[in-house]
Structure 1
Amino acid sequence: MIFVLRCVSVVCLVVVAMPSTASAQEAIFVVRHAERVDGSPDAALSVEGEARAEILARHLRDVGIDAIYSTTYQRTLGTAAPLAEVLGLEIQTGPTHDISTMMNSDPAVSRYVESLAAQLDVQHGADHVLVVGHSNTVPALLTALGHPEAVSIGSDEYDNLFIVVPREQGPPTVIRFRF
């Protein structure tokens, strides 16, 4: 576990040090929310989830995150909050409808992630951005950002961190870690 966490830290530092040659975001960090207390629609984080959110904040605090995006649910906001607090950033939120329970094929999920990807490109072209989502929105966002491979996140997986680094041409480089 410590080895994996050190690898994530090293990759984050490498991403920060990379020359800015991409026309899109320099790096987008995408995570699913941490563990929640129960299966209710707007559940808060469990103790384990709060600990994971703190670990995420420790690993990303020095990579130069410029903006943080989250859905409006307690679990996504709770995952983003420790890093936002450390960096003094406001969490950008949306949407307000229940996309977390929709299937990836639902048009509302597609509209949300396409809109978010476009917003990130326009507003954060050379920034480092953290996006906290759900098991259905994270894979859809990776696709919207140009990742050509299908990604699946199990209902019990809360430890995935995807780092998306756009390239001048072709699909982005996507690195998947567990933390």
Structure 2
Amino acid sequence: MIFAQRCVSVAWLVVVAMSMPSRAIAQEVIFIVRHAERVDGSSDAALSAEGEARARTLARHLRDAGVDAIYSTTYRRTLGTAAPLAEVLGLEVRTEPTHDIGTMMNSDPAVGRYVEGLIAQLEDHHGADRVLIVGHANTVPALLTALGHPKSISIGASEYNNLFVVMPGEEGPPTVLRIRF
């Protein structure tokens, strides 16, 4: 029953988000999520069973949201989080090349370069699309800031249930919904 209520709540919020006005020159909606739970703390860990279940839940929540493109980092945990939705929608998961991939998790300049490259891809190839981006506890807040969100976002080490729905504003900062799933 609780799962059904969460599905209805997430579906309702997605419908509301998609009905809000957006700029013609920007993405209609950008969904941003941190990767799901991983098996261990190694640098390129796969998803745990719980993480695989969360990735399938994300796919169920977004399968009817009109996602046109999916972006992920090249880590197994982000690719694994994106895979179920990509499969349902028949989309390829696009990876934005990262510089210094081995040190990205501990390097603000590397995160900045990654975010800049990703935003350039969105601007160049997805002007009016709905896009899902799967990132990390450090790239998600950096991406939200780069997209103009005025509030500082922090994602805890054990938080895997955040879905951010970003709707560009007509003027000023975007509207950002933070949904727990």
Pairwise TM-score range, normalised by the shorter structure: over 0.9
SS at match of 2:33: strand
Is 1:102–2:106 an aligned residue pair? Answer: yes
Cα deviation, 1:42-79, whole Å, max 9, x if unaligned, reads: 11000000000000000000010000000011100000
Instruction: Name the residue aligned to 1:62.
Output: 64
SS at match of 2:94: strand
SS at match of 1:162: strand
Instruction: Name the residue aligned to 2:114.
Output: 112
Between the two proteins, the alignment pairs up a number of residues equal to 177
Moved more, 88-97 or 77-86: 88-97
Unpaired runs of 5+ in structure 2? none
Structure 2 counterpart of 1:145, one-letter code: L
Is 1:170–2:172 an aligned residue pair? Answer: yes
Check whether the contact 1:23–1:168 (CA below 8 A) recurs between aligned residues: no
Cα deviation, 1:88-124, whole Å, max 9, x if unaligned, reads: 0000013341355225xx1111111122122212211
SS at match of 1:150: coil
Q: What's the offset of the Cα at 1:23? A: 2.5
Alpha-carbon distance between aligned partners in 1 of 2:11 and 2:56, rounded to the nearest angstrom: 14
Matches within 5 A, 1:133-152: 133-152=135-154
Check whether the contact 1:16–1:64 (CA below 8 A) recurs between aligned residues: no
Unpaired runs of 5+ in structure 1? none
Check whether the contact 1:100–1:137 (CA below 8 A) recurs between aligned residues: no
Alpha-carbon distance between aligned partners in 1 of 2:143 and 2:137, rounded to the nearest angstrom: 11
Check whether the contact 1:22–1:166 (CA below 8 A) recurs between aligned residues: no
Query: Which residue, 152, 155, 168 being the options, matches 1:153?
Result: 155
TM-score computed with the length of structure 2 as normaliser: 0.92
CA RMSD of superposed structures (Å): 1.5
Instruction: Name the residue aligned to 1:46.
Output: 48
The 1:59–1:100 alpha-carbon spacing in structure 2 relative to 1, beyond 3 Å, is: farther
Check whether the contact 1:36–1:75 (CA below 8 A) recurs between aligned residues: yes
Instruction: Name the residue aligned to 2:39.
Output: 37
Moved more, 93-102 or 128-137: 93-102
Q: What's the offset of the Cα at 1:83? A: 0.2
Moved more, 11-20 or 107-116: 11-20
Alpha-carbon distance between aligned partners in 1 of 2:144 and 2:6, rounded to the nearest angstrom: 22
Structure 2 counterpart of 1:165, one-letter code: M
Aligned identity (percent) is 68
TM-score computed with the length of structure 1 as normaliser: 0.93
Alpha-carbon distance between aligned partners in 1 of 2:63 and 2:38, rounded to the nearest angstrom: 23
